[in-house]
Chain A
Amino acid sequence: MSEPLFRVRGLEVALPDMARKPLIGKAPMVQILKGLDFDLPRRSVTGIVGESGSGKSTLGRALVRLLEPSAGSIEFEGRDIAHLSEAQLKPLRRNLQMIFQDPMSSLNPRRTIGSIIAAPLKQNGLGDNLAERVSEALRRVGLPEAFAQRYRHELSGGQRQRVGIARALALSPDFVLADEIVSGLDVSTQAQILTLLEQLAAEMGLTVAFISHDLSVIRRLSQQVIVMQHGRIVEAGPTDQLFEAPQQEYTRELIAAIPLPEIDPEWLSTG
């Protein structure tokens, strides 16, 4: 067994509760993540599933250090990055990439797709052969090279999400965080994007944290699953085991609540 890419112990995150912020003064802090322990094995997809408010997105943001934890450790490649400064994180950033839910808001409307994909390359000293590298990144996600000249509003939702993937993978990172990347898409587009990610993750040996509320999608994509509720891990384990023999009541309830596209007259009245 190789060492996991991430080793997380006792992770806690507290954020200011803006709903209870007084007119003057600081908002009180609210505990979002309440002591999480888990590993992310290398070269595999870990599904993180939970309902809204479970803390799954906060967990993702802590992993790539968009947030600083209030307690605990996040070991990446054996080094605790939980409290590194922005300057210390800079050299690690190219290895910690992310794809977001809504590519409409994560792509700059005033820049061409080409310059959006080129930005992280330039930042990381890969500015030579830029046009060739951008074309390569577009080809990888199945978009024509000519798309480099286009703007985000000229693209469909599925094409925009391909650009999001191209940008994240342009630097050949070790780790990619994918946070609800298909929630806004139609099923036919969703299937294209997920099969693309599946194929690229295998080809490039990526370690992926795949955050989703959709257990059916998680089952297809991930090798292991973490189930979250109210800022804690309810259950974690290999995907097949978790789906075939869930240990916790909450996991069973989540699975049973999925409406499968099959006739089942009993479904509505059970659970």
Chain B
Amino acid sequence: MSDTIIEVRDLVKHFPVRVGVLFKRVVGHVRAVDGVSFDLKRGETLGVVGESGCGKSTLAQVLMRLEPATSGSATFEGRNMLTMKGSELRKLRRDIQIVLQDPYTSLNPRMTVGDIVGEPFEIHPEVAPKGSRAQKVRELLDVVGLNPEHINRYPHQFSGGQRQRIGIARALALRPKVIVCDEPVSALDVSIQAQVMNLLGDLQTEFGLSYVFIAHDLSVVRHLSDRVAVMYLGKIVEVGTEEEIYEHPTHPYTQALLSAVPVPDPELRDQRQVIRLEGDVPSPVDPPSGCRFRTRCWKARDICATEVPELVTRVGNHPSACHFAEEKSVVP
């Protein structure tokens, strides 16, 4: 179970910024995703964390082929998934599915739950013969912990957590190999978050799924992920196993993020050191030269402005994109 299912290399997605009423002039690009590389192994969960606007969701859109990539490559089981067309793309759609962030807008309010979960079968009729679809929909609802008798209800009759389960059932319908979870729990209450995450974990064991799990909440990602990638301004700054990232972070940004995680133990709370970052995230239209984090980094020197730090292993045993990477345990 260690072979790579998705391999992403130097993936770039730039959105042109246009001005002008009649003749639109391109004045710059929003570098939403700017050279991202990672591997997703079969059956594993890759957590992607980062603050708002760092390009996590854009990455998901590009992987789902909802937005065309500007450059770079991505392969699914060895085949280039960015250039697929026609029947090959249809096949890819069956293998990669997405769970969206907002359960209130991701379900069509005018379709019954049965129609929503059954739609994948209508789009891919080869998956299930017509007669068996209603039964399959009931099974799916059962799998995600909903009452199969609610097939004729409408989304607004469900709570946020239940709606997210409907979204998960829809994504599961085609028995995909990979599910991209685009902040699937961010819009839910904390108590519901745990339920939905446990469901995702159970489904992974049951169906052998691989997840790309996008979130901005480090504790959420830790609960589910085997490996974690930390993104900042369109680039991955550090990637490693869950333990490497949480126990031995080497990139200052990761350390700052981790130091902001609340500690539930009042005894330990005084011991930890909080790293406060100054300023805001720079504009992705005009990112800083060299290291993108240098404008907010307390370690920044001259070299950070001139040389882009590559994502390579410098200290410890996982890659980190910092010239001055050093291990520092911030979570007591």
Q: Do the two chains belong together in a single complex?
A: no
